[in-house]
Amino acid sequence: MTKNTVAIELFNVTKRYSDVLATNSVSFQVKAGEFFGLLGPNGAGKTTTINMMASILKPSEGQIKVLGLDVKKKPVEVRKNIGLVFQDSALDRQLTVRENLIFAGMLHGLGRKVVEKRLTDLLTLFDLVDKKDRPVGSLSGGQRRGVDIARGVIHQPNILFLDEPTIGLDVTARVRIWRFIHKLRKSNGITIVLTTHYLEEAESCDNVCFIDEGRIVLKGKPLELIKEFDSEILEIESSDIDELFPSLRTILGDGRVDFKTAYFRVKKNQELVVSQKIEKIKSKFSTSISRVSIRPINLNDVFIWVNT
Ligand SMILES: Nc1ncnc2c1ncn2[C@@H]1O[C@H](COP(=O)(O)OP(=O)(O)O)[C@@H](O)[C@H]1O
Ligand SMILES: [Mg+2]
C-alpha cells in the first residue's frame, strides 16, 4: 500500500440504539499509513464508530469500506487485516501474559515459533519481558494495557484500532503506551485509528476528527487547527467565579467557565493590551481571584471553543 491510498472510508454512517442516535451521518477518510485520531467526550460515539469499522457492529445506515472492502459484505476479510484493542481488556486474567499472546496468535493461524518471537519483541518494547510468566490478573493497569495492545498487533495487521488506549492510566504508563505507538508507526507503516477523550494527547496525530453527540463537528490536522485558532488561553481562577464571570466577560470578551476557572481567548502579540486588562481585573476583584495565568492552547481548547 502506498501513501495516499485510502485505507478506511465512512459514508454517512448512522447507528441507532432504539431511541439513541449513537452516530449521526458520520463521514470521513483515513489514508494508508496515517495516524488518525477520533476525538470527543464520553458518549460522543467513538467506540460505536470503531466497532463498526472493525465489523463488530452493523451500521443502521450508510457504508464503511476498509482496504476497499465493504465491511458489511466482507467482514471476514476485513478482520484478517485489522487489529482491535478494546476500551476494556480482552485478556484472560487467569492465564499468563505469554499464554494470552500465544492463544491470540494461534487464533490468527500463526505457528508457535513465530508467536514466541513476536511476543518477546513486543514485550521488550513495553518493558514487560520479566512479566511473561505472570498471570495477567497480577499486572498493573498500565502493564495490562501494554499486553492488550501486544495482543492487538501480534498478527501484524495493516490497520490497528485503539479504543482509548490510555484511559485511566497514570502518566508513566501513558508515556510508555505513546512511545510504543510511535515506534510501531515508524517501524512498519501501519495505519492507526485511535480514540481518546484526552484531546490534548492527540496532537501527534496526522489528522483528527472531533465527534460530539454522534456528529462530526471538526476535522483537520492538529497543528493547523491550533494555528488557525491564533490565540492563547487566559485562565482566571476564583472560588466566586460564577459571580465574577459576567464582569470578566465585559472586559475580556467571549469566555468559558467551569466550576472554579474562567477561560478567555487572548490574541498573540497583544501583550500590552492583555496585561492592562489583567491589571484592571486584579485591582477590581483582587480579593477573590486566586490565580491568573496565560498558557498556549491545545486541542481540547479548540474543541471547547468550536463546540460550546
Ligand atoms: N449497546 C448500547 N445500547 C444503547 N445505547 C448505547 C449502546 N452503546 C452505546 N450506546 C449509547 O450511544 C452513545 C455513544 O456511545 P459510545 O460509542 O460508547 O461513545 P464513546 O465511546 O464516545 O464514549 C452513548 O449515548 C451511549 O450511551
Ligand atoms: Mg468509548
Domain 6-220 adopts which CATH fold?
Answer: Rossmann fold (3.40.50)
Helix (H, G, I), strand (E, B) or coil at 215: strand
Atom of ligand 1 nearest to the CA of 23: 14
Q: Taking CB atoms and a 6 Å cutoff, what residues make up the pocket around ligand 1? A: 17, 20, 22, 40, 42-48
35 contact partners, CB below 8 Å, separation of at least 6: 181, 185, 192, 194, 204, 205, 206
Q: Which of 224, 210, 228, 208 has its CA nearest to residue 307?
A: 210
Which tens digits make up the pLDDT trace of 169-215?
999 889 989 999 998 888 778 999 999 988 888 999 999 999 999 99
What is the 42 CA–ligand 1 centroid distance (Å)?
Answer: 9
Report residue 48's pLDDT band, with 50, 70 and 90 as the boundaries.
Answer: very high
- Tell me which of 3.90.226.10, 3.30.230.10, 3.40.50.150, 3.30.70.260 is the CATH number of domain 228-307: 3.30.70.260
When comparing pLDDT for 259 and 65, which is higher? 65
State the DSSP H helix or E strand holding residue 275, giving kind and residue range, or none if neither: helix 271-285
Query: Range(s) for CATH 3.40.50.300 in the chain?
Result: 6-220
Atom of ligand 1 nearest to the CA of 164: 21
What is the 38 CA–ligand 2 centroid distance (Å)?
Answer: 10
Which residue has a Cα nearest atom 3 of ligand 1? 17
Cell of 232: 492563547
What is the 163 CA–ligand 2 centroid distance (Å)?
Answer: 7
The residue with cell 512498519 is 188
State the DSSP H helix or E strand holding residue 156, giving kind and residue range, or none if neither: none
When comparing pLDDT for 127 and 214, which is higher? 214
The two beta strands, 255-257 and 231-238, are: unpaired
Q: Which of 87, 101, 184 has its CA nearest to residue 141?
A: 87
Query: Range(s) for CATH 3.30.70.260 in the chain?
Result: 228-307
Which tens digits make up the pLDDT trace of 60-95?
999 999 999 999 999 999 999 999 999 888 999 999
Atom of ligand 1 nearest to the CA of 48: 17
Mean pLDDT of 92-100: 96
Beta strands in 68-206 (DSSP E): 69-70, 82-85, 159-163, 191-196
Round the CA-based radius of gyration of the chain to a whole number and report it: 23
Q: What is the pLDDT of residue 187?
A: 76
The reported pTM is 0.91
Which residue has a Cα nearest atom 18 of ligand 1? 47
Q: Which of 3, 4, 8 has its CA nearest to residue 209?
A: 8
Probe target for ligand 1 pocket from 18, 24, 47, 164, with the most ligand atoms within 8 Å of CB: 47
Q: What is the pLDDT of residue 195?
A: 96
Report residue 269's pLDDT band, with 50, 70 and 90 as the boundaries.
Answer: confident
What is the 51 CA–ligand 1 centroid distance (Å)?
Answer: 11
When comparing pLDDT for 274 and 235, which is higher? 235
